Structure 1
Amino acid sequence: MIILYHKNNRVTEAWNDSDSKAVLIEAVSIAQALFEIARTFPDSLVLWCHESQREHLNKERLSEVFHHKKIMASYAPSSGKYLPEIIGYADESLFANPDLNSTFASWRMSSMVGGLHSSVLLCLEKHIVPDRDFDYFLHSLAKLAMPLGLLCYSEPRLLANGSAAFEIAPAGKPNVFRFVSQHYRLRWVFLLLLNFVVHEKKLPLFSFFKSFFYQKRRLPNTIFDQIPVQSSKEIMDSATFDVVIPTIGREKYLYDFLRDLSEQTLLPQRVIIVEQNLEAESQSGLAYLQSESWPFLVLHTFTHQAGACNARNLALVQVESEWVFLADDDIRISNDFLEQAAVEIRQYGNAAYTLQCLQAGEKAVFDKVFQWKTFGSGCSIVKRSALEGLQFDMRFEFGFGEDADFGMQLRKRGHDILYLPHPQIMHLKAPIGGFRTKPKLAWKDDKLLPKPSPTVMLYKLLHETSWQLNGYKTISFFKFYKHQPIRNPFAYFKNFKARWVASLHWANKLRDKK
């Protein structure tokens, strides 16, 4: 392990912690020093640490943080954020707004303390600019590398309790515009300017025009494919699975999926089915659960209360196995699906995964493991210990956003969600899918229906910054226009504002609801 101590954007010391001796380097900038160290020590963990944190680097936890080679992690408190929150005008993803109290996926790196493996640096050396501004370099590296399989985290475990105070001068508007210009599509530069005008009452034309003189940054899609991944974490002990399936009116589809589960090379221990039927006098339509023999325990709950959130919550309290497969009732899987999933889980050492779910004839979009921006409640595998005490938020029932909210609950506990391209799930997309019970929503009879959906707004109020919310509002103004009948732009603007206020009203009512 090599540690680069630094101050004022210059290396003060390079220290070989394995041999307890200093390392001579020639590079002036910290970024160049990282690459130099990687060439000299090609199979080593390389750390950077600000001089103020020298005595607070938590070396005892490093093996837990960097448990395989494709991990980049750093940490700084809110006072150490380099990019100001106005970046939310251009990026509404959860990666731009990490929870600083837990391990959280983010490209917002910090010069305060952090690290990555030499093999990653060697892959990047010929493809990335070693900016003299070390914080800008780290942000750029992570933003480019995250979609390509480098797992990037804000990681408080890097520092021991009682770390020294750390403050950094945040990037000014020119660097914010530069960052957006180099790492996002061109339209986001214009939207950033528009958001400044609309929400900040400012017109930073100098920063805007200057941003067009910077070259767009990209990395080759396969840049990290040759780096092997094998986690040192013992994430899986018994390799036992329970399967959770909410269902309503899909007897044939569910039967076919149960046959797939019965033919698994690694059989599930329990299949927990929550069947819903709103008719007061109705009875179960799943007679085959008792009439046929199944090679696993079937736990069947029949309820007259509709709703996927409620159904999954009823099932989650019944799980007992080490891992839980959250599934839809209209999917098909190969006979070695669970066995393949177990291999991937051991390889990456993570506690939560969303798997690639494709319809017939649909081409795969993603071909590598990377950090997923949401969560799929019908195509995910999660360790039971990570689920303990969690529930799908009933405020989202019959709306939109319950999957994403559940994923955020997991992340705020320190459990990242990885996207697995293999093994694949086939989604049959049964024609009777969706909200089949036509629920009575509180705002359904309003003269002016809220837009966006109050549950979408609720998610944003719970998990996004005000800058991200305002950025979403600006985008929505343009997106909604072509999907509504008002062609007069002034009349549309008035209507848009009124429906936005209505959405906020109902979202706040939902937020206050226990």
Structure 2
Amino acid sequence: MISLVHHKGIAITGNYDGLSIIEAIYKCAHENPDNYLLVYEKTVDVDAFKAVLPEINHRAYFFSNYNNSHPDIGYVEDSPFLNINKKVTYPTWLKGTAIVCMHANLINESVLSHSNQKNYLYWLNSLGKLSQTRGVLNYQIPTTIQNEELETYELYKFVKQHYRTRWVFILLLCHLWYEQRFPVISLMRIIFIKKSLLKIDIHELQTFKKVQTESNFEYDVVIPTMGRAGYLKDVLLDLNRQKILPNKVIVIEQNAGGHATSNLGFVKDEQWNFEIVHEFTHITGACRARNRAIALSSANWILLFDDDVRIKNDFSTRILDFINDSKAKCVTFSCLQKGEIEKQSNYLQWPAFGSGCSFVHREVAESCEFDMALEHGYGEDVDYGMQIRNAGYDVIFAPQIQLLHLKAPVGGFRKPYVFPWQEDAVLPKPSPQIMYHRTKNYTPKQLIGYKVTLFIKFYKDYSIKNPIAYYKYFKKAWSKSLYWSQKLAQDATV
């Protein structure tokens, strides 16, 4: 690892003394193409930062200290990478300038697209934003807390170069309506600026160096099920043929019928190469079922499955190979329906989480649980992913590990459920579950940005075409959603 020190944006290290920090970084990376660069302000506690760095076994990492860069980015970005927990190493493309760590290979591949940039904060965040979507793992390490922001013009330029053009006008609308300011000069200056691009050989960056492998690899499988005995049996047969067998499979069978009994006789009647823990309950709900199944597990790793998936015989060995290489503690797999082809070829940080197609370490499972406020609704998996990040872990999408999701037409957990707000004269918009998730996990400005885009998006779907009448109706629908989302939270704690 090569150290490069700067002060107020000017390098003060050896042959790079007096160069702007961006120039010095490119020169240093060119001269040291096989190394990571540690670039930091001279006053920073370098040892504290290095002590928190994870084991580095490939070139596709990009670390920095904590910095939000600009809270107004929340108006245009709808992702889990902005509402950052400052107490843990958090997955995000946002960058600070106090200290960064990145591989020379990534820097060298950005020469054509980024070497003319003069603003160091802008340069770092542009590389972070573009590299994350291509597979570079971006993190903030909270050993140095900064609050360095892009200027208004730079903010508009950043949005123009890294998002679709329409988001510039969403940003402007939010500034006009919610902040009563009209940055017209910044808007005019960025009209003809072109989109920023970054071409990198991500497969070369993601080439793993072999490190110590997982010893005593053991895993349990948790499967909630309801009314899908035939599909579940196929899942168990697939697991029975794995080269690395699970320790146990935990099946939570649900049926709301007061006199109903189990229809999974094959669980006891047939021979299995693993222990099956089968629990029957009249209480339905995927959140409760998964939490209960995880509580009954004991292995170091937990495979979260649906009851209507199919896997090949080498599924478990492919998982072991990936976690040995990546050292990931949470992996979501490619969950394809019949006829679908996975277009992604390299792994990357995932903004969501798959509750029926993921592999998590027990450390993760003990830090999180499926939120009962989202029972019978939607969003519990995305919320679980946010819990994982806030606990200091990351969700890695591994497209090379694939399973087939049959989307069974019978049974399952999405049977019609009558919520109390369905009888209201004004129906909540968005659904209270979505509102609950967003108020819990996103920044206030992200919530405003979502509100503005929702208002625009659904105007064409409502029968009310008078703009003023529609605005009044939407305000009521939004307020209803806020009210019921708060009720969901209250009821979940009872």
The answer on 1:119 being equivalent to 2:105 is yes
The answer as to 2:136 corresponding to 1:146 is no
Pairing of 1:326-365 with structure 2 (within 5 A): 326-365=304-343
Amino acid at match of 1:261: L
1:436 Cα offset (Å): 4.3
What is the distance in 1 between the residues matched to 2:412 and 2:425? Answer: 25
Asked if structure 1 preserves the Cα contact closer than 8 Å seen for 2:225 and 2:412, the reply is no
> Structure 2 residue aligned with 1:320, among 298, 301, 311?
298
Task: Check if 1:469 corresponds to 2:459.
Answer: no
Aligned to 2:176: 197
State the partner residue of 1:17. none
Structure 2 Cα separation of the partners of residues 130 and 105 of structure 1: 27
* Equivalent residue in structure 1 for 2:427, among 439, 449, 468: 449
Letter in 2 for 1:108: L
Separation in 2 of the partners of 1:229 and 1:409?
29
Residue of 412, 415, 434 corresponding to 2:393: 415
Secondary structure at 1:135's aligned position in 2? helix
1:71 is matched with 61
Q: Flag the 1:59–1:403 CA change in 2: closer, same or farther, 3 A.
A: closer
TM-score (normalised: structure 2): 0.95
Structure 2 counterparts to residues 386-405 of structure 1, below 5 A: 386-405=364-383
1:180 pairs with one of 134, 140, 159: 159
Residue aligned with 2:394, SS? coil
Alpha carbons 2:262, 2:280 under 8 Å: kept: yes
Displacement of 1:434 in angstroms is 5.7
Aligned partners of 2:433 and 2:485 also within 8 Å: yes
Shift of 1:486: 2.7
Deviation at 1:218, TM superposition (A): 1.2
Contact 2:220 2:247 in 1 (8 A): yes
Indicate how the Cα distance of structure 1 residues 169 and 263 shifts in structure 2: closer, same or farther if over 3 A, else same: closer
Q: Which moved more, 1:435-444 or 1:343-352?
A: 435-444
CA contact (8 A) 1:64 1:233 kept: no
Match of 2:15 among 21, 24, 28: 24
User: In structure 2, what is the Cα distance between the partners aligned to 1:433 and 1:307?
Assistant: 12
Which residue does the alignment assign to 2:41?
A: 50
- Which is worse superposed, 368-377 or 204-213? 204-213
Hey, what does 1:292 align to over in structure 2? 270
Find 1:272's aligned residue among 214, 237, 250. 250
Structure 1 segments unaligned to the other structure (5+ residues):
14-22
Amino acid at match of 1:501: S
| Structure 1 partner of 2:27 | 36
Flag the 1:56–1:28 CA change in 2: closer, same or farther, 3 A.
closer
Which whole-Å CA distance do the structure 1 matches of 2:4 and 2:398 have between them? Answer: 34
Instruction: Name the SS for the 1:155 alignment partner.
Output: strand
Q: Which moved more, 1:26-35 or 1:395-404?
A: 26-35
Output the CA distance in 1 between the equivalents of 2:18 and 2:225: 61
| Alignment-derived partner of residue 485 in structure 1 | 463
Q: Is the 8 A contact 2:8 2:41 kept in 1?
A: no
Asked if 1:211 is matched to 2:190, the reply is yes
Name the SS of the counterpart of 2:481 in structure 1.
helix
Query: 1: CA distance between counterparts of 2:3 and 2:449?
Result: 39
**Aligned counterpart for 1:137 among listed residues 111, 123, 129:** 123
2:288 aligns to what? 310
> Are residues 62 and 506 of structure 1, via their aligned partners in 2, closer, same or farther at CA, if it must alter by over 3 Å?
closer
TM alignment of 1:102-113, pairs within 5 A: 102-113=88-99
101 and 245 in structure 1: CA distance in 2 versus 1, 3 angstrom threshold: same
How far apart are 1:316 and its partner, in Å? 0.5
The residue number in structure 2 matching 1:253 is 231
Residue 317 of structure 1, CA deviation? 0.4
After TM superposition, give the deviation of residue 368 of structure 1 in Å. Answer: 1.4
- Offset at residue 223 of structure 1 (A): 2.4
User: How far did residue 511 of structure 1 move?
Assistant: 3.2
Q: Does 1:7 align with 2:10?
A: no
CA–CA distance in 1 between the matches of 2:206 and 2:471?
A: 53
Instruction: State the 1:233 CA deviation.
Output: 6.7
Distance change in 2, residues 1:258/1:472 (3 Å): same
Query: Which whole-Å deviations, capped at 9, do the CAs of 1:239-258 have from their partners, x for residues lacking one?
Result: 21211100001111111111
Please give the per-residue CA displacement for 1:130-164, whole angstroms capped at 9, x wherever unaligned. 422111100000101101110000112xx3xxx6x
Matched residue type, 1:114:
V
Relative to 1, partners in 2 of residues 1:56 and 1:38: Cα closer, same or farther, differing over 3 Å? closer
Match of 1:18 in 2: none
SS at match of 2:202: coil
Contact 1:327/1:379 (8 A) holds in 2: yes
CA offsets, 1:192-243, max 9 Å, x none? 11111121122111111211232211123x5222224326775733221211
Give the 3-state SS of the residue equivalent to 2:421 in structure 1: coil
CA contact (8 A) 2:61 2:137 kept: yes
CA distance in 1, matches of 2:216, 2:314: 17
Q: Give 3-state SS (helix, strand or coil) of 1:61's partner.
A: helix
Whole-Å separation in 2 of the counterparts to 1:299 and 1:437: 25
Paired AA for residue 5 in structure 1: V
Deviation, structure 1 residue 407: 0.8
CA RMSD of aligned residues (A): 1.9
In structure 2, relative to structure 1, the CA distance for the partners of 1:308 and 1:445 (3 Å cut) is same
Which amino acid in structure 2 is aligned with residue 465 of structure 1?
Answer: T
Distance 1:154 1:464 in 2: 17
% identical aligned pairs: 36
- Structure-2 separation of matches of 1:130 and 1:257: 54
Preserved CA contact (<8 Å) 2:58 2:205: no
* SS of the residue 1:299 aligns to: strand
Q: Distance in 1 between matches of 2:483 and 2:265?
A: 45
Question: Per-residue CA shift, 1:338-389, capped at 9, x if unaligned?
Answer: 1011111111111001111110112323221000001110010111122115
> What is the one-letter code of the residue matched to 1:489?
P
Q: What's the offset of the Cα at 1:440?
A: 3.3
From 78, 89, 97, give the equivalent of 2:75.
89
Corresponding residue number in structure 1 for 2:84: 98
Q: 1:35, 1:340 → 2: CA distance?
A: 38
Give distance in 2, aligned partners of 1:43 and 1:61. Answer: 22
Q: CA 1:303–1:382 in 2, change beyond 3 Å: closer, same or farther?
A: same
> What is the rounded CA distance, in whole Å, between the counterparts of 1:228 and 1:56 in structure 2?
26
